[in-house]
Structure 1
Amino acid sequence: MITEPKANLKRYLDTVREALLWKLDGVGERDLRLPRTPTGTNLLGIVRHVANVEIGYFGPTFGRAWPEPDHPLVVDDADYDADPQADWWVPAEVSAAEVVAFYRQVMTFSDATIADLPLEATGSVPWWSDGEVTLHQVVTHVIVDLARHAGHADILREAIDGAAGLRVDVSNLPDGVDWPAYVARLRLVAEQFPAG
């Protein structure tokens, strides 16, 4: 059991990162990029988004510069001005493997900030109305944000090929469930109510 607060936060951060990345395993480039919602959400875009989120929160917030500002997956203010969804999709010339490698580089960068600073270290988030924060607040915020996006990825991946759960080796789903029968039962309950 991990009782040291920073180590505990880091463990949760790593768990949600890996949960998100395994949702890409074994999925082809087309399916990783295909918009799956009316707002265009796609698996690869989620990973690019969270990578840029981590750069922002663990970099400039604490006066630390991302070492590769010209990296093709980094989104800056000019990119957002041209396309407010710039970090939610990946250009065709960038492979899924490159996106994963980029996110792993970002993780190393973020982890260095977490390792180098105490949880009480202060920083400033310019896009927040009350921008003064501590590292503890930022790590917690990023865990919540990543968990939300990992949940999006859970649903998208299940819709692609039925892969579901927390990890490849631990699904967190009950064994022996007749899923088609379960879904049919839920459908019967829902259909008792009018549409719309």
Structure 2
Amino acid sequence: MTDTATHADATTLTGERADLLAELAKARHFLRFTVRDLTDEQLGLRPTPSELCLGGLIKHVASAERNWANFILDGKSRMKNFDDMTEEDFTVRTDEFRMLPGDTLASILADYDAVSARTTEILTSTPDLNATIELPDAPWFTDTHWSIRQVLLHIIAETAQHSGHADIIREAIDGAKTMG
């Protein structure tokens, strides 16, 4: 089986695709591990000068991954241009970083699991990681197109970055650490 073949199952992959998905799985694991044994109330705590909370970080990572998976499937039409975002769009984005009424550890992790499974399926069945997709207009994109590989690398980087944020917040809550 080659790395550009269509794959039905992430466990049968080899090569680059397997390595990339393994790295994403590791970053996802550490993010999830950070919230072990916490209450819903603790997920909303902001014990650092940052406005970030653990529940909000997981909600944001899930939302960002969902958006990038949609981008892989449907291109930039699934993402708004920065200049076209409304006040409501910015409110929705801000709420991704907060625990809202009704948010629970179980519901947040269930959503993240569903998003993760969908992204993994998309990436295992995508025939060509070199395929490029036009990016939406936004001040933070210096390129006009990304390959599916670049999108996957971005998802990995974002998950790992926020996992590090989560580890600091968790340590500030109760001294628990992801590692060490």
TM-score (norm 2): 0.77
Partner of 1:26: 37
Q: Does 2:133 align with 1:123?
A: yes
Q: Residue by residue, what CA displacement relative to the aligned partner does 1:113-171 show, whole Å, maximum 9, x if unpaired?
A: 21121211222331435341111111111111111100011111112222113xxxxx3
Query: With CA pairs under 8 Å and 6+ residues apart, which has the higher RCO, 1 or 2?
Result: 2
Within a 5 Å distance, the mapping from 1:71-90 to structure 2 comes to: 79-82=88-91, 84-90=93-99
Q: Which has the higher helix share?
A: 2
Deviation string, structure 1 residues 64-111 (Cα, Å, up to 9, x no partner): 7xxxxxxxxxxx966433355121112121211000000000001111
Deviation of 1:24 (Å): 1.0
Match of 2:57 in 1: 46
User: How many residues get paired?
Assistant: 155
Q: Measure how far apart 1:11 and its partner are.
A: 0.2
CA contact (8 A) 1:61 1:125 kept: no
Equivalences for residues 91-102 of structure 1 within 5 A? 91-102=100-111
Paired residue for 1:55?
66
Query: In the alignment, is the contact (CA less than 8 A) between 1:63 and 1:123 conserved in 2?
Result: no
Is the aligned partner of 1:7 residue 2:30? no
Deviation at 1:42, TM superposition (A): 0.3
Instruction: Say yes or no: does 1:133 pair with 2:146.
Output: yes
Aligned counterparts of 1:119 and 1:90: Cα–Cα separation in 2: 35
What RMSD in Å do the two structures reach over aligned CA positions?
2.1
Q: Could you tell me how far apart the structure 1 residues matched to 2:33 and 2:53 are? A: 14
Distance 1:78 1:61 in 2: 26
Q: Gapped runs of 5+ residues in structure 1?
A: 65-75, 166-170, 174-196
Q: Secondary structure at the match of 2:146?
A: strand
